[in-house]
Structure 1
Amino acid sequence: MNQNDIDLLDLRLLRLFEAVHTSGSITKAADALELSQPTVSIGLAKLRRHFGDPLFVRTSDGMLATPLADSLIGSVRDALQALRQVSEWRSAFDAASSSRSFVIAMTDASHITLLPKLLSAAWDVAPGIRIDVTRIDETLPSALQSGDVDLALGFVPSLENGFYQQQLYEQDWICLTRQGHDQTTHGLSLRTYQAAGHIGVVYGTGHLLLEKALAAHRMERRVALRLPGFLGLPSILANSDLIATLPRQIGTTLATLGDLAVHECPFAIEGFFVKQHWHARYHKDPASRWLRNLCAQSFVR
């Protein structure tokens, strides 16, 4: 049997074969399939040529199946059932009963600002899922493509091209000091900013925008302390006269946690959008879509 012979057995011929075998009548088969009798006869002739057998013989009791047709009907019905299952199959994700693990890449700032709200929203409707958080680094694009990471949250310029993305919210910049800072009683002036000591948070992509703004304004800061993240920042600020320049959401969150003073930044810094990013391979994946919808409902504003 060559490929052309196999191609002849399309879905319509298999359905026709089953209908004639079940009804024992070309007329009834035609009615069941909503075809004309000549069309059924033509299809039956193709089947006979393909198998080299009459398949059905006309008798006073109708069209009786030959032994070959009887031996084929089980396989034909199995094939039709499999095709129906494929045709009707719809991937689904049942959040309420799922025990799936999701891996989300985010910065440590997002651990403080986004993760608590996301966990609360997720476990409220999907109590059995697990969320693993990983860092944003140079392996992220390949990890999203392979499925090792399901979603990336944050400001990730390296994912601007070639990945799906959705804006969640826009960020601008603020400054934090301890409450009662001697030089900021009436607000934070540019002169005070330039004269003060600063904490530089050097992890993540946002600080590059701050450095770019400083260069554009031809300003230099006296950075007294550099930190790789935000851990410990509130207590350090509360016990010093240092200033920290941060994106607004992480800044206001830390200010609340550490009882710090919030000041508008005395010079312009380019803002940015916090986004969620995912790979095209998982754009239609129901579990991935559920997670993205959850993030959108939680953070889009």
Structure 2
Amino acid sequence: MALYASKNVTRAADSVGLSQSSVSVVLAQLRQHYGDPLFVRTSGGMKATPRAEALRPLVYQALKLLEQCLEPSLVFDPLTSSRCFRICMPDLGQTILLPRLLSVIDKQAPNVNIEVSNLSYETARQLETGEADIALGFTEEMKAGFYKQKLNNERFVLIASKNHPDVDGKMSLAQLQQQKFVKVMLTGTSHSIIEKFLERKGIVCNYVANVPNFIGLGQIVASSSLVAIVPLRLGIIFESENAVKMVQLPLKFPSYTVNQFWHERFHRDPANMWLRSLIHDTSETLEMENRTNKAYLW
């Protein structure tokens, strides 16, 4: 390419940082390889043969690809990217964070796709292999080889129907044990904290219904005398969308931290870094908005 541009062996050698003799040796090797002189002397300098002209666009493309490989860091442009990101999160995250996150992504990265799957015991392996980009939630499965970033702290409230005759404001421990509960049958998530805490305190709740997740829980509570213990942010959503009210628990349940996780293989990946930053900022915005809710004054 240097010889094609300069039409002179000496100037071509200077432009690529080699001696004239070295360029002559390489040119001789190329001529032998292709069975063609490639460049011949003319009154206007070294001119390319038809074979060299045919090779030029291919060589140019190869050099551009090589330049991209040698870039010290790649750049991720959300406006033009059509990448598909895979996020693992529990149904809580899908209810609380995901709607806002998708709205922000739609504005900042209109061609990006998001695939969501449930947080599970397979999540760590999926992050390591690249099958998943980010995991969100409360989990103790991520150990060596993973990074984590705190998104927010979460605590629990009790929800009951607005028309519940025995529940209003703040209930006593005796009242709590008299209630009929809906139990969310989740393992390895924040709801396991409730079970362990009640067991340590020797408190037995009367569970009369078991459900596999939080989907539909607000409607179940709103249309019955059953109650449930849920994370505060979910309680806020249920209160706004269903005929339920939040009630302060008589015991101080332990809070828990919601984190985002990623594998060290992708720690410096620009696309992964962009998504992590977006998730963190979106979560922070929701935190600030929810702090205006009366429940935070308890």
1:157 is aligned to 2:140:
yes
For 1:219, which of 194, 199, 203 is the aligned residue? 203
Residue 232 (structure 2) aligned to one of 225, 245, 248: 248
Letter in 1 for 2:267: H
The alignment of Structure 1 onto Structure 2 pairs a total of residues equal to 273
1:230 aligns with 2:211: no
The amino acid of 2:264's aligned partner reads A
What is the correspondence of 1:1-301 to structure 2 with a 5 Å cutoff? 90=71, 91-204=74-187, 205-300=189-284, 301=287
Q: 1:213–1:268: 8 Å Cα contact kept in structure 2?
A: no
1:87, distance to aligned residue in structure 2 (A): 7.2
Change (3 A) 1:265 1:147: same
- 1:12 corresponds to: none
Residue 167 of structure 1 aligns with an amino acid whose one-letter code is: K
Please give the secondary structure, in 2, of the residue aligned with 1:192: helix
TM-score, reference length from structure 1: 0.72
Structure 1 residue 257: deviation in Å?
1.2
Unaligned segments of structure 2, at least 5 residues:
23-58, 288-298
Identity %: 30
Q: Is the 8 A contact 2:169 2:247 kept in 1?
A: no
Which one-letter code corresponds to 1:283 in the other structure? H
Deviation of 1:278 (Å)? 0.5
Which residue does 1:7 correspond to in 2? Answer: none
Q: CA deviation at 1:160?
A: 4.4
Query: Does the 8 A contact of 2:89 with 2:118 survive in 1?
Result: yes
1:125 alignment partner AA: Q
Report how far residue 266 of structure 1 moved. 1.4
2 CA distance for matches of 1:236 and 1:259? 10
Q: What is the identity, as a one-letter code, of the residue corresponding to 1:154?
A: G
Paired with 2:143 and 2:194, the residues of 1 have a C-alpha distance of 20
Equivalent-residue separation in structure 2 for 1:161 and 1:195 (angstroms): 44
- The gaps in structure 1 that reach 5 residues or longer are 1-17, 34-39, 44-78
Q: In the TM superposition, what is the alpha-carbon distance from 1:185 to its structure 2 partner?
A: 2.8
Change (3 A) 1:160 1:261: farther
Contact 2:155 2:253 (C-alpha < 8 Å) held by counterparts: yes
Q: Is the 8 A contact 1:198 1:223 kept in 2?
A: yes
Bigger Rg over Cα: 1
* Whole-angstrom CA distance in 1 between matches of 2:186 and 2:205: 17
Q: CA deviation at 1:88?
A: 7.3
Aligned equivalents of 2:137 and 2:251: distance in 1?
24
Structure 1, residues 35-56: CA drift from partner, whole Å, max 9, x if none? xxxxx9xx9xxxxxxxxxxxxx
Q: CA RMSD in A?
A: 3.9
State the secondary structure of the residue aligned to 2:87. Answer: strand
Q: Deviations over 1:70-114 (max 9, x none)?
A: xxxxxxxxx9x9899867764111111111111110111111101
Point out 4+ residue stretches in structure 1 off by more than 6 angstroms.
81-85
